[in-house]
Amino acid sequence: MEQRSFYVMEDEEGGRLDVFLSEQFEDISRSYIQKLVKDGLVSVNGKLEKAKYIVRENDTVEVNLPDRSEPKPQPEDIRLEIVYEDDQVIVVNKPQGMVVHPAPGNSEGTLVNALLHHCDARLSTLNGVTRPGIVHRIDKDTSGLLVAAKTDRAHEELASQFKVHSIERTYEMVCIGNVKEERFTVDMPIGRNPSNRLKMAVVNDGKNAITHFEVIKRYEGYTHMRAKLETGRTHQIRVHISHMHHPILGDPIYGPKKSPFKLCGQTLHARTLGFLHPVTGEYMEFTSELPDYFTKILKALEK
C-alpha cells in the first residue's frame, strides 16, 4: 500500500475532492478515485470525506493506493539560476520549458528534482513527497522568479501571504494586437472551461480573479505589456488577456496555433517577486532580467 499526500494550493481550492485528485493522478480514472474514496482510502486533514467534498486551500489530502508504486522524485544535478538563498527560502529564476514539480509521465528534469539536489533534500514537507518546497507555481513555458521553502515554518508563512494576496508579482509579456488602453484592470472570475478541463476560462461561477495590466510599448501588430497579479488563479494572466482579445504571443492554449516566430511557448516572464521573509519579517523584492527568447522577440519587433 502506497500513501501519497497532497497539499491543496490556492489555485486548486473550490473543486470536488474526486476532481482534485483526478488532476493529481492523470493516469487514474475519476471512477477509480471515487472507489478509493468510497473504500475509505482517502482522508482530508485526517478525516474521511465523500467524493463531493469541496477542497479548501491548505487542506492535506492523503491517499492510500493499493498495489501502486510511483518513485519519489530523485535529486538531479540540474543547473539552477539562484537569485537568493538562506536557510529558510530559495528564490530561483526558472527557465522556459522546465516543469515545476513531477507529475505522471514527467518525473524527471523538473525544478523539484533540481532543488532536491541543490538543497540536499532539505525542503518543506507540507506539499507531499512529489512537491517538496513548492509554495506556488508558474507554468512550464512561463519563465521567471519562483520562491521555494526549505522549512515547514517558512512554507506556512509564505502560503499565508499568498492566501491574503500580499505577495508582489509582476510579469512581462508580448500580446498579439495593439492594446488601446494604457492601463486597465480585468476583474473576472476564472474556473475550469466546461468544454475542456485542460483549459481555464472566464466563467460566472469561477473564483475571484483580478489582474492589472499596463502597456510598456506598442509595435506593429503587437504590444509589450506588464501585468500585476492581485490574485493567483491557474493561467490567470493568460486567460484574462486572451478574454480581452489580445492573447499572449506563442500561447499554445489560449492563442492562435500559428505564429510568425519560432517559439517554444508563451512570451510570459515572471519579472518581479516580493514578499516578507517568513522568519525575519523583512520585505524582500527580486527582479530578473528578460530572458534571451523574450529579448529576441522584442528586437525582431523593433525591426
3-state secondary structure of 63: strand
Q: Mapping DSSP to helix (H, G, I), strand (E, B) and coil, where does residue 223 land? A: strand
Q: Which positions ≥6 away from 287 have C-beta within 8 Å?
A: 145, 271, 272
Q: At what angle do helices 17-24 and 30-38 cross, to 10 degrees?
A: 120
Alpha helices, H only, the chain: 17-24, 30-38, 111-118, 152-163, 236-243, 292-302
Burial string for 273-286 (b: 16+ CB within 10 Å, else e) reads bbbbbbeeeeebeb
Integer Cα distance of 14 and 146 in angstroms: 24
State the Cα–Cα distance between residues 15 and 8, nearest whole angstrom.
10
251 is catalytic: no
Q: 24: closest CA among 42, 46, 40?
A: 42
Report d(CA 80, CA 121) in Å as an integer: 15
Instruction: Please list, in sequence order, all residues whose beta carbon lies within 8 angstroms of the beta carbon of residue 59, skipping any fewer than 6 positions away.
Output: 7, 8, 13, 44, 45
Handedness of CA 185, 187, 192, 194 (dihedral sign): negative
Catalytic residue from among 11, 59, 139, 251: 139
How many residues are there in the chain? 303
Amino acid at 180: K
CA 105 to chain centre: 18
Residues taking part in catalysis: 139
